[in-house]
């Protein structure tokens, strides 16, 4: 079963624009992670945000977490064609079961 649901399911933007995707989850969490999946590199861990954090940055990535709304967002700034991929949120990890969301398919048009 999927814990999270990403929104939108698909997103198409021009290179240089920002991309925002959202994740809603169902149960209380200790942390939330974002992964990227493309045909070239498979599934890759991007960033982890803990339940006591509200915002985290890593390069062009910005992740927010609102535990009261059980939601998270991933912002990719100044997108590049190489950012074309599917993006998944995931809850759990460590000694807890990891549950992935349904994913957002991002297409960045050069």
Q: How far is the CB of 67 from other proteins (least distance, A)?
A: 17
Which residues contact other proteins (rule: CB under 8 A)?
A: 1-2, 4, 31, 33, 42-45, 48, 88, 90, 93-95, 97-103
Is 48 in contact with 55 (CB distance < 8 Å)?
no
Q: How far is the CB of 44 from other proteins (least distance, A)?
A: 7
Residue number, 85 or 90, with CB nearest to other proteins: 90
Is 36 in contact with 79 (CB distance < 8 Å)?
no
Q: How far is the CB of 9 from other proteins (least distance, A)?
A: 8
Q: Who contacts 88 (Cβ-Cβ below 8 Å, separation ≥6)?
A: 4, 6, 34, 35, 36, 37, 43, 100, 101, 102, 103, 104
Q: How far is the CB of 8 from other proteins (least distance, A)?
A: 13
Residue number, 64 or 93, with CB nearest to other proteins: 93
Residue number, 59 or 110, with CB nearest to other proteins: 59
Rounded to 5 degrees, φ, ψ at 51 are -65, -20
């Amino acid at each position: 079963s999927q814990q999270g649901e990403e929104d939108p399911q698909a997103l198409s933007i021009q290179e240089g624009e920002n991309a925002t995707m959202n994740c809603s989850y169902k149960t209380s969490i200790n942390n939330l992670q974002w992964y990227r999946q493309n045909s070239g590199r498979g599934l890759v861990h991007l960033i982890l945000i803990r339940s006591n954090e509200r915002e985290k940055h890593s390069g062009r990535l910005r992740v927010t977490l609102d535990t009261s709304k059980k939601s998270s967002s991933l912002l990719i700034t100044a997108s590049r064609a190489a950012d074309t991929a599917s993006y998944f949120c995931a809850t759990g990890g460590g000694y807890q079961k990891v549950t992935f969301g349904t994913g957002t398919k991002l297409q960045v048009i050069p």
